[in-house]
Amino acid sequence: MSDEIERNKKQAVIRGFMLKCPSCGVGKTLHKYLKVKDNCDHCGIDLHHASVDDGPAYFTLMVVVGLILPFLPIIYANYDPNPLLVAFALMGAATVLALWLLPRTKELLSNLVFEYCWSCGDLVGVCGFDSVFERDACDDFCEVVKAA
């Protein structure tokens, strides 16, 4: 894999976590918490094809559970707390963490989808087109993105 493609993927991850456009890195691409805008406010690039469906929810769930669950044995090994208090505290922490992380995960995955299409990763459906019959539309989309 070339350094340019790898750099673009790293850049896409960083821009995604910062909730920025995958192309220019300036404009915001999310609107109303999780809605992807049709175009970037700054550079005007078309963004509505980068569909990530349920991926952000699954990744966010894995991260939140992976961060919250280890606290249970630590809490009960060192203290004798009220179980109801622990449940409410960890549920609150998990909720806040999930609400903060979900848009960043969605933007990160959307930016990676955008970069795969940009570098023509040759994955059917990566541009938001589902069927093989729409592959020509995906190729056209990749050409438009490259020209921008």
| 3-state DSSP helix/strand/coil % of the chain, to nearest 5 | 60, 5, 35
Residues in the chain: 148
Backbone dihedral angles phi then psi of residue 39, each to the nearest 5 degrees: -140, 155
Q: What is the pLDDT of residues 61-83, one digit of tens each?
A: 999 999 999 999 999 999 999 99
The domain segmentation of the chain, as residue ranges, is 3-119
What is the rounded CA–CA span in Å between residue 8 and residue 148?
15
β-bridge mates for residue 46, sequence order: 39
Q: What is the pLDDT of residues 28-58, one digit of tens each?
A: 888 888 888 888 888 887 777 677 888 899 9
Of 100, 70, 97, 75, the residue nearest 86 (C-alpha): 75
What is the rounded CA–CA span in Å between residue 21 and residue 53?
18
Q: Is the pLDDT of residue 3 over 60?
A: no
Residue 144 pLDDT: 57
Q: Is the pLDDT of residue 4 over 60?
A: no
